[in-house]
Chain A
């Protein structure tokens, strides 16, 4: 295909107008430009309709990605994409119905591979995103169509770039860990579950400026079950080093209080203390001192508990305007780090 044909119907070839910015955004399924042979591939299909049982005996629907070429997980959050630094990655979306995209958040490729409709295109069939994972650390991926809705509906999962030697260190020469935990902290507004995939896109008031979460959770477990659910609870043996990869996937200001000292050794996919960035370094968060993350921020927390025991963890979900704890004070999730 000639180069100029590849981009027909995308932001790379067409004029960007008010309509193509939002309501009538570019849709295409081009071949990947500047294509290389990948070192690793991920095939991800869009799946709607998973209903998570809530502690009050209701259900919360999530939309998600699941493997297209391996046994499905039928789980939420979506499967973790794990790769090694330096690998050329092909991540293919199979939209299956309507249009969607994948934005690999924090990964910085060319615009065609960035998954944003108005600067490239939404995918109605299949597209293979290409990038090389050059900075080890903690990332995530999510659908970037009508993102306000599709991200809240759960279309995301972790993306982890390990150093070339594999898991066990955050980056080459950086902090090592024995136990790893992924905490995707999220909140859920049941009203938004009534909305259509396209809600609000073309002028209607879908109330997407108003977010009132009623359920709160960690990595697929809802509070209060977070205090016992193995998806949230961290278990380690004395002397082991624990790495927690913490993502604020909610639309709240997330205030976290750990009952144990922690070192922040990475922020947003950038290891602290790595060579090439001498202007940043790890920093300590003492036990009991709250810290806040806003949406999409990640902290890599290194914890070496001083002795066996249970260390409490408290997540408070604060409203973005009032800073009150959401849902009249009920927006709290508790979990534990258990050291035996």
Chain B
């Protein structure tokens, strides 16, 4: 008999259920991480319950793993599912665990790579188990994050490009970007994925699936951001970006699914700071383009800067506004708009969240 978790988001957002930290216990440069793989029935935004397989940490499903560059991490994964699973972080040597039999646990020890955003997955039967939900974000803080003049960035000193340094040094120190510099707490992780319940039903029923047939037959009906969608992802405090003008925020955006997304943000353009090379390694951009829509192909991991600048097309003669009030709320949604549906309709209950500008400048002393 299987015991399953039941995850219902609609009523529970605000509860610290998903995307919690705490999965890493740290002692000096050594850290221990314990994950379990569990079957779960997850309620989609339209009330349909879908079988999924999820990683759990001590504080719940879909943990974000965190470490500092150079940490020696011992990772243990326990498989509480009835099928064989595994673990990998593409682009990170040694962070791989082969077949973990049902009811067993296995470990790997590896060194945290240079500061950045990484994707952990179960690579078994790829892409099946990853699509069933077995994926998460691994965030590495750089050991030396400052530029030569002492401004903190999300990137290691030796990975920083001239233009990324110029940009971060302009934050909080220029006419365009008044307010604060970027600080590492100003961050959101945005994990994109898609679910085709027909695939999940087959896995749950014990069907043998030829992984080579999955891409051609994948017809997703749910498009998620940190496991939720639509109204729920728009109100999830772990997803929703919030702050004052002058409080720049880093978006760590990942796509664990099979569909390419084209996220579009309203209210501010974002700067594309990093991506991945053909070998899965982090690439920090030198030509740092400002975009309102960017590409998220499968396995992409991109660090984007949401500058929290005054929305540039508000007329200065009408600012600060007299009638319209803060907070200013804007959506971020995928523009390949099939992703805005749930169950074949229900626009906009798909891959979307809102972000909000609370006021015209950071609170004094804040």
Residues of A with Cβ closer than 8 Å to B? 3, 6-7, 11-12, 17-18, 21-23, 33-36, 88, 103, 105-112, 114, 116, 118-119, 130-135, 146-149, 151-152, 199-211, 251, 253, 267-270, 272, 276-281, 283, 292-297, 320-323
Report the minimal beta-carbon distance from B300 to chain A, rounded to whole angstroms: 11
Q: How far is the CA of A131 from the CA of B315 in the complex (A)?
A: 6
Q: Interface readout for B282-295 with A: 1 if CB under 8 Å, 0 if not? A: 00000111111111
Partner of B318, one of A18, A130, A205, A296: A130
Q: How far is the CA of A203 from the CA of B314 in the complex (A)?
A: 36
Q: Are B267 and A199 in contact (CB under 8 A)?
A: no
Q: Are A119 and B329 in contact (CB under 8 A)?
A: yes
Q: Are B314 and A22 in contact (CB under 8 A)?
A: no
Q: Are A112 and B354 in contact (CB under 8 A)?
A: no
Residues of B close to A18: CB separation below 8 A: 10, 231
Q: Are B318 and A34 in contact (CB under 8 A)?
A: yes
Q: Are B163 and A134 in contact (CB under 8 A)?
A: no
Residues of B close to A12: CB separation below 8 A: 324-325
Q: Are A107 and B313 in contact (CB under 8 A)?
A: yes
Q: Interface readout for B321-350 with A: 1 if CB under 8 Å, 0 if not? A: 111110011110001111011011111110
Q: List 10 A-B contacts (CB under 8 A).
A: A3-B322, A33-B321, A107-B313, A108-B266, A147-B337, A206-B344, A208-B344, A270-B289, A294-B260, A322-B215
Residues of B close to A116: CB separation below 8 A: 266, 330-331
Q: Are A320 and B336 in contact (CB under 8 A)?
A: yes
Q: Known: A18-B10, A34-B324. Is A268-B290 also a contact (CB below 8 A)?
A: yes
The answer to the question of B220 belonging to the interface, with a C-beta cut-off of 8 Å to chain A, is yes
Q: How far is the CA of A46 from the CA of B18 in the complex (A)?
A: 43
Q: Are A296 and B335 in contact (CB under 8 A)?
A: yes
Q: Known: A132-B316, A253-B260. Is A209-B293 also a contact (CB below 8 A)?
A: no
Q: Are A210 and B338 in contact (CB under 8 A)?
A: yes
Q: Are A209 and B262 in contact (CB under 8 A)?
A: no
Q: How far is the CA of A278 from the CA of B315 in the complex (A)?
A: 24
Partner of A22, one of B291, B335, B344, B347: B347
Report the minimal beta-carbon distance from A11 to chain B, rounded to whole angstroms: 7
Which residue of the partner chain A has the closest CB to B340?
A: A148
Residues of B close to A268: CB separation below 8 A: 269, 289-293
Q: Are B323 and A34 in contact (CB under 8 A)?
A: yes
Partner of A296, one of B167, B234, B264, B345: B264
Q: Are B292 and A294 in contact (CB under 8 A)?
A: no
Q: Are A132 and B337 in contact (CB under 8 A)?
A: no
Report the minimal beta-carbon distance from A16 to chain B, rounded to whole angstroms: 8
Report the minimal beta-carbon distance from B358 to chain A, rounded to whole angstroms: 13
Residues of A close to B258: CB separation below 8 A: 321
Q: How far is the CA of A29 from the CA of B142 in the complex (A)?
A: 50
